[in-house]
Chain A
Amino acid sequence: MSQSHLHTIIEPANKRQFINLKELIRYKDLLYYMVLRDVTVLYKQSVLGFLWAILNPLFQIVVFSLIFGKVAGISTGNPNLPYPVFSCLAVIPWTYFSSTFTASSNSLITTSAIFTKVYFPRMIIPMVPIFSKLVDFFISLIILLGVMFFYQYVPGKNVWLFPIPLFIIIITSTGLGFWLSSLALQYRDFRFAIGFILPLLMYVAPVAYPAAKVQQQLGDTAYHLYALYPMVGGIEGFRSSFLQSQPFPWTLVATSGAVAIFLFITGALYFKKMEKHFADVA
């Protein structure tokens, strides 16, 4: 093999470090095999296997439909829209978000044995759950098909727009993953905080109720501010794209999308800035 002309300089970085995209691309296979590892290992030695990806959101949908749909009698905002379809369209993307949120935030702590022994772009670590949980997400779409079939509900014409809110959810999870994984590695408090913040985040997001309810009850200003929480545009946008009667909430999605991108970029920069301390604090 010919001598490569690679020249690496290692010195204390006083300047801001920029994200080395070239290096990230060179390590794309590592991301691939780490995702593959997560997917293969998750359901090994379990009897139900990938059924778990369905059971978890399914139970939530049943409970939500009973408690919020029947007992609390929350309206879906449309008499033709059965509550189970409504809740299914929010619980499935929310399950994806909450599982990536937890896994990504803890990712540096759980893989410290690896990155304290080998160098590779650490940014890959919080990105792994973002991809591996997508597998669960797509499997759980089976529930959506089942529920829609059961209620004879045909998706509306905006259905092709659903990748946009899904992308917002992915970007938000990744951005939060960058932020929280590096914070949790330094301050273990975050690990505990994540556990109780997650349910709160769910109540705030339009999972059990439509976002329009916020507009009705709290007014227009509150509604626009509401969209600053990126899961509002993510969840409401995802649900709306499947519904016949509802226009796609472009303003919500645009605001949430902008916040999501902001979270992603600042998260990546913060992660990069803190990266050099990781091996010392792990």
Chain B
Amino acid sequence: MTTTALAEPAATPVAGRKESWAWLLNARLLIGLAIVAVFTLCAFVLPFFAPADPSMQSTYMKNMPLSAEHVLGTNSLGQDIFWLLVFSIRNSLILGGIVAVGVTIISTIVGLSAGYIGGNFERVVMLVVDTFITIPLLPLLIMLGALIRANQAFLVLAIIIFGWAWGARTVRSMALSLREREFINMAKFSGANTFDILLREVFPYVTAYMLVNFINTMLFAINTEATLAVIGVSRVEIPTLGSIVFWALNYNALFTGNYVWIVAPIVATVVLFLGLFLSSTGFNAAFANRRGVL
């Protein structure tokens, strides 16, 4: 499910506009997509070749240096750092993808209906949206982590429930500007009902925002999970980009001189996040260009 969700961004904008999609290409987008593609490919294909489950401790000798057998060496728990990293990136991407699907669906429905229907309905919805934006998420997640040693599924749900508000805000402002356009009136006078108009007329305009929103949500979700893992309130046995750093900090990787253990996940995270961010702003710029707004 997640693999298709991840592949989707590249496919959607191309599908409808087959004539020429050169407009889509700009330097940022190309660099961003290249980085994301390499990471996704490695994260989902390489695990099939893994010699052992990297989350198992004491599989190898502890603190081995870099070698042909262990590309990034091993850590103080006897795990192979390279394979640990590959599995972490995969788990983080899966989590980000699932959250992004959920958040995109909710924020699109809420934002579209609020922006299009307007009136008191919009006021109430925007009040709730603003509340969810104001509530600091991390304290709530720390509490949930303390109450139920958060399993991943629950964490995903919590991030979706508290993460949809920003997207809904963006989609709503888009829908607001569409409400007054001629072709919407045209559809209305032709007798189309609200649902039809939302689905057939407004929705296609919002898809570009949804795509950008999707990538941004992935960033947000991966970041949130990693944050919880680093301070040790999520299931840190599962390798993710955050839990690697947690174990490295806990075993004082710096004092023991095992720099790779802590530097490798940092570098991987920065590059992956940069890739996702460049893709999202690249798409944004491309769509703005096409609409002629820049």
Do A and B make up one complex? no
